[in-house]
Structure 1
Amino acid sequence: MAQGTNPETQGEISGIENAHQFDDFEEQNGEQRKMLSSENGTEEPGKRTEGEPSEVQVEIPMTIDVSRSRSPAVRAPSTEPASPAPSDGLRRASSKIANLRAAFERQNSASSLPVSPGPRSPASKGPDASKRRFDRSPARGQDVESSKMREQQEAEIARLRHRLDEEAELRQAFEDKCTALEEETEELRVRLSEKDAQWRKEVERRSKELVREKERASGELTSIQRQLYELKKSIAAATRQQSQTADSTFAQEMQHLYHEIQNWVVNNFRRVKLDKSPEEMCARLEAVAEPKHLEHLKPIFENFDPATKLSALQAVTAYYLMEIFEEPLLFGMPLDEAWRRNVKGAAETLPSILSPAALNKWRAVTLDAIKQSTKIKASVDSASQSMSEMICITLNALTEVEEGKAKVASLNAIIRRTISLAHLFRVQRAQYDFILPPPGTAYSADAMEDSSLEGEDPVATTIRCATFPAVWKRGDENGDNPELSNVVLKANVLCNP
């Protein structure tokens, strides 16, 4: 300091120096706080977030010259006069510096920790100040937070452990229930298997019983149908003098006979393969058929088509049956009996002396009387058996099928019914003619029916073969009016394509 300076001016200068020292101390204190904050991992007080503990305040010792720091404002007023303008400015500056110094001292005495050992104020040594410093330490805050987090984790673990125990109990209960249900299911399955086996046995037993009942009923039905047929014939024979058999009855019986022959052919020859040429089929036919039959049968196989084998075989059968229908008297009458020759001679000579009505009446009465005789029964059975064997031999030769007794027996039953039906035709007063069109005949829709078409008449063509004859009636029920004629049944034919 220069000599000769005014004391008040020196005091003001000293205050200004103290103010500069205070500013330097503030800067130094701030840098030390930043260093402590970075070392302790804490932030500055101004940047501390809500809920975080305050950092430790460190007291920075500083040496202040109290004798020099006294402001001129607190000194005794000087008696020396001073200029008013400079003195007032210095006083105001000294007042501000004194205020700043007092605030700084209060702040250091209340909240700062000394870095180096030194004398402490009595207030800083109390338990409350130590507790406040401990509560404000970051370690204490971290311990509290850790304790709270540990308590929360332990509570969460306890809750999860309790929930796990409950789920284990629930799982055990469900497993017990599932085991019980599985045992019950297995028991039900065993019972169902036992019941199913019982039901199967019962169903099989019942099915066998039903099959036996069906077969028995079928046999009874066949027997009843046969009895009904015989009863119809008996009734017709008993009432033959009073009334004649209606044409509708004859048509129905002939249709039934046609289907019987068709079924017999199908059942016995449908599996046969006839992929032979027409020449080979004709050669087979010539090997077994009589010459008088070849004139009609050979044209059937001259244009043979394997697709029509069943129709061709049925045509052969129908041709042999024509011998039964074309017999002028009764088929099966014994050939070596004298009375047969006499009856046949009378039938040939009487038309010259009797009227057609009288001749028809004589024929009906005479043949009916012969038909009732038991002497012709044996000869009729023999003729039926011979006819059956001849037809089977011919068809077996054409198809190269082995002979079978069942086949001959079933055909013999059909031929016996054919003979009975032919006898019924012959004892009628009206005269019935049977016509089997030969192959190559022009088709006539009035007397023929094509079995290869369904409800449609073919165009003008010729027939390939006839599978059943047509039935024509001449005269009325009493045998009169022989000029009248009508078709009772059309012939079944197979036309050429």
Structure 2
Amino acid sequence: MASEFERELTQLSHKVTNERESSQFWQQKHTTLHQTYLQTDTSLRVLRSELANIQSFQAVNLEKDREVKSKLANVMIDRDAFREAYNEAMGELREKEEEVEMLRGQVRGLKSWVSKGGRGGEEQVSDEGVGEGWGKLGNSLQNWVIVNFRRAKVDTDKAEPELKEQLQRLLPSYEILASSSKIHFIQSLISRLLVNRIFSSYFVGIPSEQAEELEKVERYLGEFRPEENMNQWRSTTISLLRKEAPTKLLAETQTIVDSMTATITTMLSSVTDIAPSEPRDMTLRALVFSSIDLSRLLRAQRAIFRVQMPTITEHQFTIFDGEEMEDVGGEDEEELSGREIRCVVFPGVIKWGDENGERGYLKNVVAKAKVLCAPE
């Protein structure tokens, strides 16, 4: 029994030894694997951290890339808008230059016509010639207003009280006209100033005292001589003045032109949102110069030429007269009979007498006044 027990004990001892060795092996294996796991886990964490950094960097770069692309797109949009605005501005500039050149051509033509007509007391201008020159002046004024004020906003309420009083004297219905037809309002205003300060003068440029003296002499001599003789005397006298005016009355003429230009510019700047400009004022000065030349030419004729611009008042109707007026509204003349006039856009010219200064009872409407009739 003892030997068998020892044998089993020995076997068990061997098994225990084997199990211990096996346990030590697996413990060592477990330790090795655990260390490998820890190393792998650490590497994984490092890789994840690096991946997160890379992803964060990529996200930042992606956001920056988006911002760059967005800014680039905005720049391209701004560039296209600028290019479109530039092309539009250049188109308007070319259009403006063409219109200015057209106005200059009209002014040159008007000056040429005036310089050729009525030189000396012996040369008289025909009715057709006067009508042609008058039409050129009216067209030049109309084009000047359209070119410079077609996009203007007119607001007479912002004008100073003194200017409002002046507008009231010149155009009693200026408020209604300015709100309903700004182009006709501006034309009518300038036309009224030209009539009052230029075409109503005895001879533009000479002092008012001298003009009054000449008028007195003309009336006095008219009591002794026939009408045709007085017309001849006036024509000869004014022709002498007109011949010397370009040199001897240059300073006076320049002063009148400067004053008229400043008055018109100040008025329009006070009631519109358009600022003055040198090209605009230069063309306006040329128009005023042409008006002065034309006024002097008409005064030098033996026949009497009257510039007609009916005054529109608040309390009295002015009725359309087809013989002396032309409606700019485009309505049929037959439909305008008895119609009230809203404003006179440009005055007309009526001739009394013939080219020899005789038969003063003869009346000829050389140019009809351009008017705007009130709607029915």
Structure 2 length as normaliser, TM-score? 0.64
Per the alignment, residue 225 of structure 2 pairs with: 354
Query: Matched residues in 2 for 1:452 and 1:400: separation?
Result: 26
1:341 shift after superposition: 5.5
Pair 1:421 & 2:301 matched: no
Match of 2:271 among 398, 401, 424: 398
Once the two structures are superposed, the pairs formed by residues 133-152 of structure 1 within 5 Å of their partners are none
1:392 shift after superposition: 1.5
Q: Deviations over 1:355-387 (max 9, x none)?
A: 221111111000110111121122112111211
The residue type equivalent to 2:173 in the other structure is P
Match of 1:463 among 313, 318, 341: 341
The residue type equivalent to 1:467 in the other structure is V
Q: Deviations over 1:435-493 (max 9, x none)?
A: 11222411111111110115544332111100111111101111111111111111100
Once the two structures are superposed, the pairs formed by residues 58-69 of structure 1 within 5 Å of their partners are none
The residue type equivalent to 1:244 in the other structure is Q
Cα distance change of structure 1 residues 480 and 286 upon mapping to structure 2, 3 Å threshold: farther
Structure 1 length as normaliser, TM-score? 0.50
Match of 1:319 among 192, 214, 219: 192
Query: Matched residues in 2 for 1:221 and 1:452: separation?
Result: 23
1:273 shift after superposition: 2.2
- Is the CA contact (8 Å cut-off) linking 2:352 and 2:360 kept in structure 1? yes
Q: Which runs of 5+ in 2 are unaligned?
A: 1-93
Q: Give the share of equivalent positions with the same residue, in percent.
A: 28
Per the alignment, residue 442 of structure 1 pairs with: 319
- Is the CA contact (8 Å cut-off) linking 2:110 and 2:137 kept in structure 1? no
Per the alignment, residue 328 of structure 2 pairs with: 451
Secondary structure of 1:494's partner?
strand
- Is the CA contact (8 Å cut-off) linking 2:326 and 2:368 kept in structure 1? yes
Pair 1:297 & 2:171 matched: yes
The residue type equivalent to 1:284 in the other structure is A
Secondary structure of 2:335's partner?
coil
Q: Deviations over 1:112-162 (max 9, x none)?
A: xxxxxxxxxxxxxxxxxxxxxxxxxxxxxxxxxxxxxxxxxxxxxxxxxxx
Q: Deviations over 1:178-213 (max 9, x none)?
A: xxxxxxxxxxxxxxxxxxxxxxxxxxxxxxxxxx9x
Query: Matched residues in 2 for 1:221 and 1:284: separation?
Result: 29
Pair 1:284 & 2:159 matched: yes
Per the alignment, residue 254 of structure 2 pairs with: 381
Query: Matched residues in 1 for 2:157 and 2:136: separation?
Result: 31
1:425 shift after superposition: 0.4
Pair 1:473 & 2:351 matched: yes
- Is the CA contact (8 Å cut-off) linking 1:474 and 1:483 kept in structure 2? yes
- Is the CA contact (8 Å cut-off) linking 2:103 and 2:283 kept in structure 1? no
Pair 1:236 & 2:117 matched: yes
Cα distance change of structure 1 residues 480 and 311 upon mapping to structure 2, 3 Å threshold: same
Equivalent pairs, count: 272
Cα distance change of structure 1 residues 429 and 492 upon mapping to structure 2, 3 Å threshold: same
Superposition CA RMSD, Å: 3.1
Q: Which runs of 5+ in 1 are unaligned?
A: 1-211
Query: Matched residues in 2 for 1:342 and 1:295: separation?
Result: 28
- Is the CA contact (8 Å cut-off) linking 2:205 and 2:252 kept in structure 1? yes
Query: Matched residues in 1 for 2:137 and 2:106: separation?
Result: 18
Once the two structures are superposed, the pairs formed by residues 194-213 of structure 1 within 5 Å of their partners are none
